Amino acid sequence: MNISEFAKEAGVSVSAVSRYFNNGYLAEDKKEKIEAALKRTGYMPSYSARAVRSKVTKLIGVILPKLSSESISRVTEGISEVLGEEGFELLLVNTANDYNREISSLELFRQNRVDGVILLASVFTDLHRSLLAKMRVPVVIIGQQLKGYNCVCHNDEGAAYSMTKLMLNKGAKRPAFIGANPDDKAAGLDRRLGFERAVKEAGLTVDPKYCEIAKFSMSSGYEKARRLFSNRLKPDCLFCATDNIAAGAMQYLRENNIRVPDDVMVGGVGDSRFDKVLYVPLSTVHLHYKTAGIEGAKMLLSEMKDRSEVHRILQLEYEIIERESTDKHC
Amino acid sequence: MNISEFAKEAGVSVSAVSRYFNNGYLAEDKKEKIEAALKRTGYMPSYSARAVRSKVTKLIGVILPKLSSESISRVTEGISEVLGEEGFELLLVNTANDYNREISSLELFRQNRVDGVILLASVFTDLHRSLLAKMRVPVVIIGQQLKGYNCVCHNDEGAAYSMTKLMLNKGAKRPAFIGANPDDKAAGLDRRLGFERAVKEAGLTVDPKYCEIAKFSMSSGYEKARRLFSNRLKPDCLFCATDNIAAGAMQYLRENNIRVPDDVMVGGVGDSRFDKVLYVPLSTVHLHYKTAGIEGAKMLLSEMKDRSEVHRILQLEYEIIERESTDKHC
DNA sequence: AATTATTATGATATTGATTTCATATCGTGA
DNA sequence: TCACGATATGAAATCAATATCATAATAATT
Q: CA A273 → CA A146, A187, A246, B126, B217, distances in Å?
A: 29, 19, 13, 35, 10
C-alpha to C-alpha distance for B173 and B320, rounded to whole angstroms: 21
* Tens of pLDDT, residues A200-251: 999 999 999 999 999 999 999 999 999 999 999 999 999 999 999 999 999 9
Residues on chain A touching B48 (C-beta within 8 angstroms): 48-49, 51-52, 57, 112-113
* Tens of pLDDT, residues A8-65: 999 999 999 999 999 778 999 999 999 999 999 999 999 999 999 999 999 999 999 9
C-alpha torsion sign, points B37, B41, B47, B52: negative
Average pLDDT, chain A: 95
A132-151 average pLDDT score: 94
Would an 8 Å CB–CB cutoff place B21 in contact with chain A?
no
The pLDDT assigned to A97 comes to 87
Would an 8 Å CB–CB cutoff place A133 in contact with chain B?
no
Q: Please give the helix or strand (H or E) that residue A16 lies within, else none.
A: helix A14-22
* Tens of pLDDT, residues B121-179: 889 999 999 999 989 899 999 999 999 999 999 999 999 999 999 999 999 999 999 99
CB pair distance less than 8 Å for A279 and B276: no
C-alpha to C-alpha distance for A136 and A114, rounded to whole angstroms: 10
The pLDDT assigned to A313 comes to 97
In order, the DSSP letters of B206-224 are: --GGGEEE--SSHHHHHHH
User: In angstroms, how far is C4 C1' from A25 CA?
Assistant: 19
Contacts of residue A4, Cβ cutoff 8 Å, sequence gap at least 6: A14
Q: Supply the DSSP symbol for B328.
A: -
Of A105-109, A194-198, B215-219, which gets the smallest average pLDDT?
A105-109
Would an 8 Å CB–CB cutoff place B277 in contact with chain A?
yes
C-alpha torsion sign, points B300, B302, B307, B312: negative
Closest partner residue to A276 (CB to CB) among B69, B94, B251 is B251
Cβ(A6)–Cβ(A37) under 8 Å?
yes
pLDDT for A312 beyond 80: yes
The pLDDT assigned to B330 comes to 67
Interface of A with B in 212-241 (CB under 8 A): 218
User: In angstroms, how far is D14 C1' from B56 CA?
Assistant: 16
pLDDT band, very low/low/confident/very high, at B25 (cuts 50, 70, 90): confident
Cβ(B277)–Cβ(B93) under 8 Å?
no
In order, the DSSP letters of A161-206 are: HHHHHHHHTTT--SEEEEE--TTSIIIIIIHHHHHHHHHHHTT---
Burial of A89 (0-12, 13-18, 19+ CB in 10 A): buried
Q: CA B215 → CA A165, B184, B192, B246, B248, distances in Å?
A: 38, 11, 14, 12, 11
C-alpha to C-alpha distance for A263 and A257, rounded to whole angstroms: 10
Average pLDDT, chain B: 95
Contacts of residue A40, Cβ cutoff 8 Å, sequence gap at least 6: A9
Cβ(A17)–Cβ(A46) under 8 Å?
no
* Tens of pLDDT, residues B245-298: 999 999 999 999 999 999 999 999 999 999 999 999 999 999 999 999 999 999
* Tens of pLDDT, residues A263-286: 999 999 999 999 999 999 999 999
* Tens of pLDDT, residues A164-195: 999 999 999 999 999 999 999 999 999 999 99
Helix (H, G, I), strand (E, B) or coil at A284: strand
Q: Which residues are paired to B106 by β-bridges?
A: none
The pLDDT assigned to A330 comes to 67
The pLDDT assigned to A281 comes to 95
Instruction: Name the residue among A273, A301, A303, A278 with its Cα closest to residue A289.
Output: A273
* Tens of pLDDT, residues B132-141: 998 989 999 9
Of A151-160, A175-184, A293-302, B94-103, which gets the smallest average pLDDT?
B94-103
Contacts of residue B105, Cβ cutoff 8 Å, sequence gap at least 6: B61, B63, B93, B95
Residues on chain B touching A42 (C-beta within 8 angstroms): 110, 134
C-alpha to C-alpha distance for B322 and B285, rounded to whole angstroms: 8
User: What does pTM read for this prediction?
Assistant: 0.93
The pLDDT assigned to B253 comes to 97
Closest partner residue to B48 (CB to CB) among A52, A81, A96 is A52
Interface of A with B in 77-106 (CB under 8 A): 77, 80-81, 84, 89-94, 96, 101
The nucleotide minimizing the C1' distance to residue A15's CA is C10
Q: Name the strands in the sheet holding B265-267, side by side, starting at the edge strand that comes first in the sequence.
A: B211-213, B175-179, B237-240, B265-267
The pLDDT assigned to A308 comes to 84
Q: Please give the helix or strand (H or E) that residue A100 lies within, else none.
A: helix A99-109
The nucleotide minimizing the C1' distance to residue B7's CA is D10
N-to-C CA span, chain B: 77
- Nucleic acid strand D: bases within 7 A of protein CB: 7-12, 14-20
pLDDT for A77 beyond 90: yes
* Tens of pLDDT, residues A298-311: 999 999 988 888 89
Residues on chain B touching A84 (C-beta within 8 angstroms): 93-94, 101
pLDDT for B120 beyond 90: yes
